[in-house]
Each structure stands twice: as structure tokens, then as C-alpha cells.
Structure 1
């Protein structure tokens, strides 16, 4: 948790408390459902929480915005982002019901009022959103096709509505059909070696 405070020194006490509670909550529920890879759990705050909060380093969601966390899995990046942006609405979608049920319990325990988990296939959602966030659940072109008609037509932010992808490794081939994509290397924000190959990719959908 010291790693989070290092890079986000202006967090409020309640935000620190909620973020500090995450590891114990996930340790407990991971014994029942594999929400977080057990191979990486020892590095929970770096590989899961801070990685997801990389989005908060490149963009600040406005109060009142609605964000879809597509393929949320164990609640990433939606839950950490919802703590940092308490006035933004986050819809966490996953097709695996048992994961959504546990995410509901984690949200309840943390008293998060801006997070709404849904068990549904993301491509079948009829809702409209300002932004989508997703952590490498599929290749970019697949997610882009799933979400291209799910954005509000009018953007109320300083950038157009679109998707933030948390990615790692070489994604040159994935980006060939998206010449307008913007990459934000996370080693520009975080000094730990883990982030050398990690990045945020921003693609406008309107």
C-alpha cells in the first residue's frame, strides 16, 4: 500500500482506508473464487492496484461520467478507479456470475456507492457510456467492435468518448488498424521494473 501512497500522495483518508482494505478482502475471497492470479497475489498492490490506477495518471474522469469496466473479472480496473474517482459512476460487467457475486460483497464491505456490478455479456449491453476501461481481456479490435455503438454521442470531457486499454508487451500488430490510438507508457509514471512493458492505450470511439 505504501507504493500507492508514493504515487498518489493526495488521497483522502477514506480512499486510503478503502485501498488498504483491498488486499485482505481479496485474500479472503480468492480462497473461494480465483479473482486474482495466485501467482501474482504476493505483488497485489503493484501488479493489480497500481497498474489499474495507471489510468488515473493519464486521465481524470469528470464527476457524473459513466464508465464501463468491460470484462471486470475480479473487479479490475473498476474497483480501484471507483475509489479514486468517487463521483464517477462505474458499471462492472462480466459474464461469470460467481465473480460478480463476490464483487458485490467487496463493494458492500467498502461502502462504495458509485459501483454497479452486472452479470452480462458486454457486447449485448444496450446502455450508453462516456468511457470504457478494460484490462487485456481480448485483443483491441475485438473490444472495439463490441463497444463501438455503446458510447454517448456527446462528450462532456476534454477528450472524446472512448476506451482506455491496460496492456503489456508488444501490441504493434493490435494497433495496426488504429493509427489514431495514443499510447501512454507507464514507465513514464512509475519507476518499478514491472512497468517497463506496461502501457495505457487510448482509442476514441466517436
Structure 2
């Protein structure tokens, strides 16, 4: 399900969380269009966040570390292939869906949240970036009907037990063997009890080993196939 190594560069220059440099510290080979889209994220989110608060004031100043690079931990461990259909459950302000949509322009992303104002921001950001591979829905997870996806992604919106319960009806049966499938979510802290209660046997990847920045201590990519 997960690739054996992250798609990371060897750049080791110092970079701060409020700069695009912290992303370039770990990822290389972006196209000019991708670079432009990533660099446009900060002004877009700062502008919209003043109108509709979807990111905390403290975190907006560390957007690239705490939101963009965190989201791209999924890209570092899962190689999404062209044509895949991915749903981001509880996308909030668009994470991890928006950074992943930039990273994987040939993958289709459907970003869902039950809070309308958050989806309004997501739609505005996607339009501002000219992301043609993003659709959105103001909807509860349980109300997503008549669509099947190759992969569910999410970031700390619910216990693993609930996330997996919501994900199963949305996933294609008998997915191609060469594609990542199932649920990939971003979580933090001691997950032992949560995993036990879920009944799942997920694979955990320590994000701090991918991106050795203080913020990523005790943060994990959790994958259920």
C-alpha cells in the first residue's frame, strides 16, 4: 500500500515553517506550475482567513510546516497514480486535500466537510490556484452516496474506528493491485488505545523520520488497507 521510500530531496538548508523553503527542503522536482501554486497558497489562505477563520491565528504563520508539509507526509509514503479517485473526509480548510491535489495533478480529489463556511474557503482556494482536479461537497460523511473512491484521506477529524467505518462504504471493491487503496490519515500522540478500539491493523509511519522538525514529533501517517 505504501511506497518503500519518500519522494524527498537531499536539501538540508534551514527553513522556517512560514516559508515555502521548508517544503523545498524535503521535496524536489516540482514543475513551475506546482511551484507557483504552492507559493500562492500563503497569500490566498491569509486573505481568506481574515474573512472566514478556518486556520488558527497561530498556525496561519506556520502554514507551510503545520499544514502544507504535514499534508504532504501522505505524498511521501503513498504513490498515487493518475486517474485515481480520492476523497478527503472532513477537509476543514482543505487539508490534506489541497496540497495533495497540487502534488498529484492527475489524481481526482473530492473534498468534503459538514461546515459550509469551510467549504466556501476550499472552493475559493481551489479556484484561485486553478486546480481542475478538485471537487467539493458541503456534506456529512454519511450522506456521500453513489460514488466510490480508490482512497480515503483525512487529518485528525475522528477516532480511527469511526474513520474506518465511514470509509468502507466509500471504497471500491477489488481495487487494482498496483494502486494504494483504503484509508490514509494523519494522527498524533499515543495511538495504542485508538488502534485497539478500531479493530484495524494499520501501518504507522513516523512523520518525524520523514521530516525531522520538532512539530512532527509524535505525528504519524496511519494507513489501513
TM-score, scaled to structure 1: 0.95
1:86/1:157 Cα in 2 relative to 1: closer, same or farther (>3 Å)? farther
The residue aligned with 1:169 is 189
2:133 is aligned with 1:114: yes
Counterparts of residues 104-183 of structure 1 (less than 5 Å): 104-126=123-145, 127-158=147-178, 161-176=181-196, 177-183=198-204
- Report the Cα offset of residue 156 of structure 1: 2.2
On the 8 A contact 2:89/2:153 being kept in 1, the answer is: yes
How far does residue 157 in structure 1 lie from its aligned partner after superposition?
4.7
Q: Structure 1, residues 119-169: CA drift from partner, whole Å, max 9, x if none?
A: 111122111110000000011101111121111112125356201110111
Match of 2:33 among 4, 14, 17: 14
Find the counterpart in structure 2 of residue 194 from structure 1.
215
Q: Secondary structure at the match of 1:31?
A: helix
TM-score by structure 2 length? 0.87
Q: What is the root-mean-square deviation in Å for CA atoms of aligned residues? A: 1.2
Please give the secondary structure, in 2, of the residue aligned with 1:154. Answer: coil
Change (3 A) 1:157 1:111: farther
Kindly state the Cα deviation for residue 199 of structure 1 after the two structures are TM-superposed.
0.7
Relative to structure 1, the CA distance from residue 157 to residue 39 in structure 2 (aligned partners, 3 Å threshold; closer, same or farther) is farther
Unaligned runs of 5+ in 1: none
Indicate the SS of the match to 2:192.
Answer: coil
* Aligned CA distance change for structure 1 residues 192 and 186 (closer, same or farther; 3 Å): same
SS in 1 for 2:106: coil
Q: Which runs of 5+ in 2 are unaligned?
A: 1-19
Residue-pair matches, total:
204
Q: Deviations for 1:93-143, whole angstroms, at most 9, x for unmatched residues? A: 001112112211111111100000111111221111100000000111011
**Kept in 1: contact 2:153–2:184 (CA 8 A):** yes
